[in-house]
Amino acid sequence: MLTPGERVFTVFTMSDQRDKILASACDLYVSEGLDGFSMRKLAKRVGVTAPALYRHFDGRDAVLGEVVREAYRSFMGYIYRALEAPTPLDRFTRAGEGYLDFALQHPRWYDIIFTGPELLGMETLPPDIEAMGCAIHQFWVDRVRECMDAGVLKPSDPLQTSLTMWAHAHGMVQLYHQGNLQVDEPGFRGLFEDSCARLMAGVATEAFTVELVEGNMSEPAHVQG
């Protein structure tokens, strides 16, 4: 019988091994795609036998599904920190910062999140993953809506405005990930922030645009949380 200490050590070991499998699975999928993804190749990357993987996952589909779940969970952790901020603009700004940090720190997970289910060998995403995607979508719409209500953004359709902003951010990230911008990470961060400021100037209210142009990103005096 295992002692309490041995049981704790075993739990941590299993957890660490699972994390290593997911990280290796993500790398394998991104580098070789669905056709090149197999439990045998994954086992080789992890440094174990293929049967050993089945202690953690039922098979390839289960591994891929959990990779997508981990990617979404991590992404949600980065952007949901914004909810701790006190005002609509602070929450909007911090959510954008979380988005960029995640995209740059976890480029493989970022790519997987925006990969269609058919490219992951799934007809549709499992309901729990679909729910996470819907929650993230609603999170962005809510950030835009409350900035409109607070007088930071011009009154408009929050859904359409949030889609425009996401398309801009995603396009910038993809250009960087694909090496089309030929800048290092600090250079891209500066380019991304400047481009976002230009976009904001087009959708912000006149009062907020004045402060934006002056380089003051603090909450406008008339805006309440």
> Once rounded to an integer, what is the mean pLDDT over residues 131-148?
96
pLDDT band at 12 (very low <50, low <70, confident <90, very high): very low
Report pTM: 0.79
- The confidence score (pLDDT) of residue 160 equals 97
> Once rounded to an integer, what is the mean pLDDT over residues 17-31?
85
pLDDT band at 148 (very low <50, low <70, confident <90, very high): very high
Question: How many C-beta neighbours within 10 Å does residue 199 have?
Answer: 14
Note the pLDDT tens digit of each residue in 104-115.
999 988 988 888
- The confidence score (pLDDT) of residue 215 equals 57
Helical (H) or strand (E) element with 28: helix 4-32
- The confidence score (pLDDT) of residue 4 equals 43
How big is the CA angle at 221 (ends 151 and 90), to the nearest 5 degrees? Answer: 65
> Once rounded to an integer, what is the mean pLDDT over residues 134-160?
96
- The confidence score (pLDDT) of residue 217 equals 46
Residues in the chain: 225
Contact between 156 and 203 (Cβ < 8 Å): yes
Q: Per-domain residue ranges for the chain?
A: 1-57, 61-213
Note the pLDDT tens digit of each residue in 37-85.
888 999 999 998 888 888 888 888 888 888 889 889 999 999 999 999 9
- The confidence score (pLDDT) of residue 77 equals 96
Please state, rounded to an integer, the average pLDDT across all residues of the chain: 85
Q: Which CATH architecture has domain 1-57?
A: Orthogonal Bundle (1.10)
- Render 141-169 in DSSP notation, one character per residue: HHHHHHHHHTTSB-SS-HHHHHHHHHHHH
pLDDT band at 212 (very low <50, low <70, confident <90, very high): low
pLDDT band at 1 (very low <50, low <70, confident <90, very high): very low
Yes or no: is domain 61-213 CATH 1.10.3720.10?
no
CA distance 87 to 221: 12
